[in-house]
Homo-oligomer: A and B are copies of this chain.
Amino acid sequence: MSEQARKSDIDSNGEIIISLDAMGGDNAPDIVIKGAELAYRSLENIKFRIFGNKKKIMPIMAKYEALSNISKIIHTEEFISADEKPSSALRRGRNSSMYMAIDSVNNNEAHAIISAGNTGALMAISKFVLRTLPGIDRPAIGGLLPTEKGYCVMLDLGANIHCDAENLFEFAVMGNAFARSVLGLARPTVGLLNVGTEKNKGHETLRLAATLIEESGIDINFYGFIEGSDINAGTADVIVADGFTGNVALKTAEGTARFFVNTAKKSMLSSPFGILGMAIAYPAINKIKKRLDPRNYNGAMLLGLNGIVVKSHGGTDEIGFANAIKVTYKLAKNHINQQIIKEMVSSGHVPAEGDDADIDIE
């Protein structure tokens, strides 16, 4: 069933229905339900379909009457564990909360699905159930990162270890639609991650991808090549990389951030002046913490599938999960997949069948 048909079927009454895998993530189903409770009030016409073990979900839901009224709980006792192999999850997981939640998108019972569970399983089942969008060869994982100017979108964060120029072109189209939908930018700038900004830098694949984007005739505000230091600087709104490079860059940025926080803490706490200074500067420090809090940009999309699938960080709390719901809502509301299809058609890139991806995020 095509994305077009899918949307029109369930958009009739203006509702956005989001399916939640209540059993995925380190603190499921607690953070899933509490996250939904935190998120729904600011999101117009939202409804939830919650998949998981009723015995575990109901005691939490009992506290939230209004949330219960806009949610439908679909019971299943099975779930995909964090360390289950994608192939095994796909084979034996048909009655799991994750699989059933994904299936609800395929059955037009929901616009989108969120899971904080096993990324590899989520990608494998989603690809099997939903298939890829016309013209998209390989799905990619796209997420948000904080920058000097706000946020940027980076993809692929680890779904595809090997990528050719055509894949990178498709990532550019998908990242562009993601930034428009979630960041509300009319014409986001798109950069290709490389080792230098000059045209002759890097792999042949990157130079070819740049040409594909430049000559595609579609509405992409192409910035050109960018470097690792441009990611957090906010030089481009969308950062395109193969899944190997994107994953290394994402984790390096996370690691450097952690190192800074730890070093700062250690130094400040090692002297009474540091402690006093921190106490006085507390409101300002709080502002920094909030600005850099990964919960505030939780919610990565499995882009390129014929349905909206969002991955929440497995270790997040209800605030992080609520943000993943907000991201998902924007993706559905702004019809991200329609945008991608439109660009792919207008670029004249021929539809191709999806291929297997190695999952290497988290």
A residues near B (Cβ < 8 Å) are 146-148, 158, 161-162, 193, 195-196, 201-203, 227-233, 241, 243-245, 247-260, 262-264, 267-268, 270-271, 273-274, 276-285, 287-288, 291-292, 360
* Inter-chain contact A273/B268, CB cutoff 8 Å: no
Asked whether, in the complex, the Cβ of B243 is within 8 Å of the Cβ of A231, the reply is no
Q: Contacts A195-B161, A273-B284 given; indicate if A228 touches B245 (C-beta within 8 A).
A: no
A229 to B255, CA, bound (A): 4
Q: Name the one of B230, B250, B268, B288 contacting A263, with C-beta atoms under 8 angstroms.
A: B288
With most chain B CB atoms within 10 A of its CB, the pick from A203, A252, A270 is A252
Rounded to whole angstroms, the CA-CA distance of A248 and B245 in the bound complex is: 8
Known: A195-B248, A277-B278, A284-B271. A360 touches B201 (CB 8 A): yes
Q: Which secondary structure characterizes the binding site on chain A?
A: helix
**What number of copies of this chain does the assembly contain?**
2
Residues of B within 8 A of A147 (CB): 259
Supposing A284-B267, A287-B267 touch, asked if A229 and B251 sit within 8 A by C-beta, the answer is yes
A247 close to B233 (CB less than 8 A): no
Sorted nearest first, the 3 A-B pairs with minimum C-beta distance are A277-B281, A228-B251, A274-B284
A22 to chain B, nearest CB (A): 27
Chain B residue at minimum C-beta to C-beta distance from A280 = B277
Residue of B nearest to A261 (CB): B260
Q: Are A288 and B264 in contact (CB under 8 A)?
A: yes
Determine if A268 and B248 form an interchain contact, defined as CB atoms under 8 angstroms apart: no
